[in-house]
């Protein structure tokens, strides 16, 4: 293993998570159906090869689907609170493996170690949420217009839930889906990103232990590994009534059309182009903290990352100067070292997109306030470390209208009232997360009103990143309209059924219709 991997105990973490055949191929855990090509997982931290993974072939996929569909026949009959107990045990296993899994997330994906631990904590939190939910899968009782009739609705499991997740949150987003789907009585087939396959294998191994200990079918949770072709098999498969896909808007449009063509359901969590509005009544210190974390956290590779800062002209220079000063304090380097703020981008392709975005911003008339750069040398040998940049821009710039998965923050100026700032914020095709920094109650309430933010998430005096699992997570417009995690997001994993019971001795018809024989 590399020096960094050895120094920070990555091999020990992998061994604890059931991934032992380093550099020689690894098993996918309990669902050991993989017989396809070899996929190599490299760390963006130091460029080192972590392990080789045997991918899932088309024939393997069919075995997985057979196992999942058979497991559903068993699992759906288990009472929901008992299913909740399985998820509770999974949460306990995550607590036991938090340090090891957090290290793997940090090393394979490149986010800071604290963010890696935080991601595993999100998994634990959604398990706790789902356990309580398992006793609250409620329907409604309604009064019938017919005498001696009772009418109500209930929810049933859908079946096999297909989960396609992205590299930036390689474990948490799967758990948002899996924990809820499991308490709802569904079974899961998961395709993690081909950029972070080991995180997927580790999670599968942990959940597999719980299933084995409870003598439950292995097909309740299945893992498939590979590139987009595995996703295509899932989206075209009529045996999967729901596809939950997280990724780019381009990918989401393909998934949506494919699933809709077979009249399936899709839950889409796609791109974001998130903004913070900064009004003259904002607390500047809070603004800087929220904006910097939102822009550089996970090296700008969150769907909720802050891309745009919309600042009133009266305080623009003051805010810009404070941001530039804060960026000078950022420490960029090995994310496993908790002294560093910013780790690497995921791969060389992401670095290229970062460079092209900055070039394009300048070509369109942008002014660089904090220069971007790609680091080189012994401490940055993966070639994936970049310097967070700040650019003065206009919302109309084509590059500003796009989502670039990199730490580039665009500063936009507005004049007049907060309505003007809201119009700028909403004038993009994405609609995930938004925020306003203000101590003015009227501005805050307007931002949250029907005439305010058009995003799925709207915050006051906090940034765009860092959603809690208790609230439904998702966005509007080209973000896809899906909702995951908290609130009543569980309903998407179930089918609704309306029931009417006649306990009388006659058969009256609805709407007063008479049909006498």
| Active site residue ranges | 269
CA atoms of 77 and 87, how far apart (whole Å)? 16
DSSP annotation of 282: S
Say if residues 183 and 133 touch (Cβ distance below 8 Å).
yes
CA atoms of 392 and 369, how far apart (whole Å)? 7
Cα–Cα–Cα angle for 139, 144, 150, rounded to 5 degrees = 60
DSSP annotation of 462: S
What does the block give as tokens for 323? 């941001």
CA atoms of 149 and 138, how far apart (whole Å)? 20
Q: CA dihedral defined by 179, 115, 406, 458, rounded to 10 degrees?
A: 60
- Beta-carbon contacts of residue 10 (< 8 Å; ≥ 6 apart): 1, 4, 50, 103, 104, 107
Q: What helix, strand, coil percent values describe the chain, rounded to 5? A: 40, 20, 40
CA atoms of 396 and 308, how far apart (whole Å)? 12
CA atoms of 368 and 360, how far apart (whole Å)? 12
- Beta-carbon contacts of residue 6 (< 8 Å; ≥ 6 apart): none
Strands laid side by side in the 141-143 sheet: 141-143, 149-157, 494-502
CA atoms of 416 and 314, how far apart (whole Å)? 10
What does the block give as tokens for 213? 């200990």
Say if residues 438 and 279 touch (Cβ distance below 8 Å).
yes
- Beta-carbon contacts of residue 210 (< 8 Å; ≥ 6 apart): 86, 89, 90, 93
Pick from 44, 306, 295, 10: which is nearest to 167 by CA?
Answer: 44
CA atoms of 86 and 102, how far apart (whole Å)? 22
Say if residues 227 and 164 touch (Cβ distance below 8 Å).
no
CA atoms of 486 and 1, how far apart (whole Å)? 40
**Helices marked H in 48-79 — which ranges?**
58-75
């Amino acid at each position: 293993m590399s020096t960094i991997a050895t120094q920070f105990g990555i091999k020990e973490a992998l061994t604890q998570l059931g991934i032992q055949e380093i550099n020689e191929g690894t098993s996918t855990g309990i669902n050991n159906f993989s017989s396809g090509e070899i996929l190599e997982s490299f760390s963006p931290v130091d460029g080192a090869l972590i392990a080789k993974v045997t991918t899932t072939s088309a024939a393997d996929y069919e075995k997985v689907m057979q196992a999942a569909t058979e497991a559903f026949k068993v699992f759906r009959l288990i009472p929901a609170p008992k299913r909740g107990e399985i998820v509770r045990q999974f949460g306990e296993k995550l607590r036991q493996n938090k340090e090891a899994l957090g290290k793997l997330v940090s090393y394979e994906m490149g986010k800071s170690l604290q963010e890696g631990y935080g991601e595993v904590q999100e998994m634990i939190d959604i398990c706790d949420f789902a356990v309580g939910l398992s006793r609250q899968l409620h329907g409604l009782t309604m009064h019938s217009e017919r005498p001696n009739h009772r009418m109500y609705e209930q929810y049933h499991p859908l079946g096999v839930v297909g989960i396609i997740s992205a590299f930036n949150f390689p474990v948490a987003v799967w758990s948002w889906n899996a924990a809820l789907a499991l308490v709802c009585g569904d079974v899961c087939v998961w395709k993690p990103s081909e950029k972070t396959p080991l995180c997927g294998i580790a999670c599968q191994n942990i959940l597999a232990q719980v299933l084995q200990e409870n003598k439950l079918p292995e097909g309740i949770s299945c893992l498939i590994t590979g590139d987009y072709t595995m996703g295509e098999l899932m989206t075209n498969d009529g045996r999967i009534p729901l596809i939950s896909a997280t990724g780019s808007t381009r990918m989401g449009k393909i998934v949506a059309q494919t699933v809709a063509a077979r009249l399936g359901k899709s839950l889409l969590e796609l791109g974001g182009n998130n903004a913070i509005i900064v009004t003259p009544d904002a607390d500047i210190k809070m603004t800087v903290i929220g904006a910097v974390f939102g822009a550089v956290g996970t090296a700008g590779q969150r769907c909720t990352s802050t891309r745009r800062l919309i600042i009133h002209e009266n305080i623009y220079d003051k805010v810009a100067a404070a941001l530039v000063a804060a960026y000078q304090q950022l420490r960029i380097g090995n994310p496993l070292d908790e002294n560093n703020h910013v780790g690497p981008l995921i791969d060389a392709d992401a670095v290229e997109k970062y460079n092209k975005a900055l070039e394009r911003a300048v070509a369109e008339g942008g002014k660089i306030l904090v220069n971007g750069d790609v680091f080189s040398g012994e401490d940055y040998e993966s070639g994936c470390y970049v310097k967070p940049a700040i650019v003065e821009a206009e919302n109309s710039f084509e590059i500003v209208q796009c989502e670039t998965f990199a730490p580039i923050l665009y500063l936009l100026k507005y004049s007049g009232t907060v309505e003007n700032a809201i119009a700028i914020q909403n004038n993009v095709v994405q609609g995930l997360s938004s925020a306003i920094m203000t101590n003015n109650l009227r501005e805050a309430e307007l931002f949250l009103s029907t005439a305010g933010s058009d995003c799925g998430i709207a915050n006051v005096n906090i940034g765009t990143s860092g959603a809690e699992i208790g609230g439904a997570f998702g966005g509007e417009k080209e973000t896809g309209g899906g909702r995951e995690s908290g609130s009543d997001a569980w309903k998407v994993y179930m089918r609704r059924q309306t029931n009417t019971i006649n306990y009388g001795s006659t058969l009256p018809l609805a709407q007063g219709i008479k049909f006498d024989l």
